Amino acid sequence: MRYELYYWNGIQGRGEFVRLALEEAAADYVDVCRNEGGEDAMMTLLDSDAVTRPPFAPPFLKAGRQLIGQTANILLFLGPRHGLAPDDEAGRLWTHSLQLTIADLVSEVHDSHHPLASSMYYEEQRREAKKRAANLVRERLPKFLGYFERVLARSARTPRFLVGRALTYVDLSMFQVVAGLRYAYPNAMAGLEKRCPRLVDLHEHVRLRPRIAAYLASARRLPFNEQGIFRHYRALDA
């Protein structure tokens, strides 16, 4: 079965967490909106009255006749099918809770450049963004990254994964968080990374995995930019 991934063209955004899982799984998929007419098809699925179970927003995945919305939920679906989640229910719930914590972090990173409204331009909320970004860097990132570092510290093996002995989708997402934060907040991250060496190692391990390395070197991997979630604005990264 060929999966269809629906996500805004031109940005990594939340779609990237799904792409990384599909790539590591060597799954057969098409990134619909990168093709002519793709965004129209996406809007139809979002708005059509004929869709029984419409997703709220991109990204969503079409798997046969099933439409699956919400990033973490898509990974919950893909994980067990592609060897990217533990076999037991307790392990899957634990993995999923980590993914949901990453989702919370990602939302906070988004709001650091859009604290007032997603529908306004960054330039219209720059002053507020400066305050929120300062709080993100000073309080929230240390709390989130410290948490994941602590989770990694409980793993005895090298390479250390967030869950058990094998790579799961949440490791791939963690790679993306570190990569995105390095892009958006290079100054802040230079300091923060000293306190989370295991996260740095995990990022490096994922980056070098053959399928991920091939993906990152391909045209399928879009560059970070100032339309996505991880945006670099010098004013926010003092």
Binding interface with a second copy (CB under 8 A): 52-56, 66, 68-70, 72-73, 76-77, 90, 93-94, 96-97, 100-101, 104, 107, 111, 115-117, 119-120, 128, 131-132, 135, 139, 144, 147, 150-151, 154
Least separation in angstroms between residue 223's CB and a second copy is: 27
Least separation in angstroms between residue 194's CB and a second copy is: 21
Q: Work out the number of other CB atoms within 10 angstroms of the CB of residue 220.
A: 13
Q: Toward a second copy, which CB reaches closer, 86 or 224? A: 86
Amino acid type, 23: E
Pair 202, 159: CB distance under 8 Å: yes
Residue 31: φ, ψ to 5°: -90, 90
**What is Dmax (Cα atoms) for the chain?**
52
Q: Toward a second copy, which CB reaches closer, 103 or 212? A: 103
CA distance 174 to 199: 8
Q: Toward a second copy, which CB reaches closer, 139 or 204? A: 139
Least separation in angstroms between residue 218's CB and a second copy is: 29
Residue 174: φ, ψ to 5°: -65, -40
CA distance 24 to 174: 14
Q: Give the closest residue to 117 by CA, choosing from 129, 102, 106.
A: 129
Least separation in angstroms between residue 99's CB and a second copy is: 9
Least separation in angstroms between residue 182's CB and a second copy is: 22
Least separation in angstroms between residue 57's CB and a second copy is: 8
Q: Mutual orientation of helices 141-153 and 197-208 as an angle, nearest 10°?
A: 70
Q: Toward a second copy, which CB reaches closer, 79 or 209? A: 79
- Inter-residue long-range contacts of 71-77, CB under 8 Å, 24+ positions, other chains counted: 71/14, 71/15, 71/17, 71/18, 71/103, 72/96, 72/99, 72/100, 72/102, 72/103, 74/18, 75/17, 75/18, 75/21, 75/99, 75/169, 75/170, 75/173
Q: Toward a second copy, which CB reaches closer, 35 or 107? A: 107
Least separation in angstroms between residue 170's CB and a second copy is: 12
Q: Toward a second copy, which CB reaches closer, 72 or 109? A: 72
Q: Toward a second copy, which CB reaches closer, 53 or 157? A: 53
